[in-house]
Amino acid sequence: MTSIYQQVLGADFEKLHPKMQERFGFNSVDRIASIGSGVMEEIWRGPFYTLPFLYVGAWRSIMFPECGKNIPFTIENYAYRDQSGRDTLSWIRRFDVGPIRHFDEYMIYSESRKGIVVYLGTHQHLKATLDLYVDDRGGLRMRSGTQRLFWGNLAFSYPMSLSGNADVREWYDDEADKYRVEVEVTNPTWGKLFGYHGSFNVTWKDVSDQKVPEHILPQREERRE
């Protein structure tokens, strides 16, 4: 069984830096988790008129309005089977910006779409497709695409004028012996909404008891892809 990223990248997965292959090459069968901790050198937000987007995002742990420099950061990547039996990887990011803020995502490989689908936030009401690329330094670039909103029995395309496109770049810095990350979320009308950049180290956690911590799991799980 391969990871969801190997399924999408195919032979290009081997072009990733070995540390990146390690970080993105595990799945629920391996019964391990990647726990990252570090510092975001800067967290920024767009102009004042972007604040409504960020406050709405904070409500469901997607984005948030606070910004600053040298912010303590953790990221918890657990691979597990969700209630629909899909191999899922959590991206539970925690930022200590005064209040503790989260940016939570859950990624699966969609057989019907032949690509990765990411569910955003604590209740997975928002879904986006994800495009993956290997860059020239052996890093991974992830860019969000079309989005859908799920609310009760309703499901409809979410207008990009009310949302944001995420561009995530992660790579391994051999000289610093750290992972580095850059994230930028933009809106086609309002411009830059939110982003951050910094570095972190990873430790590996044994989850052979198959128990995923409760704070990792979403409060609501969406089955529609």
Q: What's the token pair of residue 10?
A: 């195919």
Q: What's the token pair of residue 94?
A: 């925690």
Quick check: 107 and 118 in contact, CB under 8 A? yes
- Banded pLDDT at 168 (limits 50, 70, 90): very high
- Residues 76-90 have a mean pLDDT of 96
Quick check: 51 and 173 in contact, CB under 8 A? no
pLDDT tens by residue, 4-35: 999 999 999 999 999 999 999 999 999 999 99
Quick check: 32 and 206 in contact, CB under 8 A? yes
Please give the C-alpha separations between residue 86 and each of 4, 109, 117, in angstroms, as whole numbers. 10, 8, 11
CATH of 4-204, one of 3.30.450, 3.30.70, 2.40.128, 2.40.170: 2.40.128
pLDDT tens by residue, 179-205: 999 999 998 888 999 999 999 999 999
- Rounded CA-CA distance 166/47 in Å is 17
pLDDT value, residue 159: 66
pLDDT tens by residue, 205-219: 999 887 899 999 999
Question: Average pLDDT over the chain, rounded to whole?
Answer: 93
Residues contacting 72, CB < 8 A, separation 6+: 37, 39, 95, 96
Three-state DSSP at 151 gives strand
Q: What's the token pair of residue 126?
A: 């928002």
From the number of C-beta atoms within 10 Å of its C-beta (0-12, 13-18, 19+), residue 129 rates as middle
pLDDT value, residue 1: 74
Q: Which of 198, 193, 154, 222 is nearest to 58 (CA)?
A: 193
pLDDT value, residue 162: 67
Percentage of the chain beyond pLDDT 90 is 78
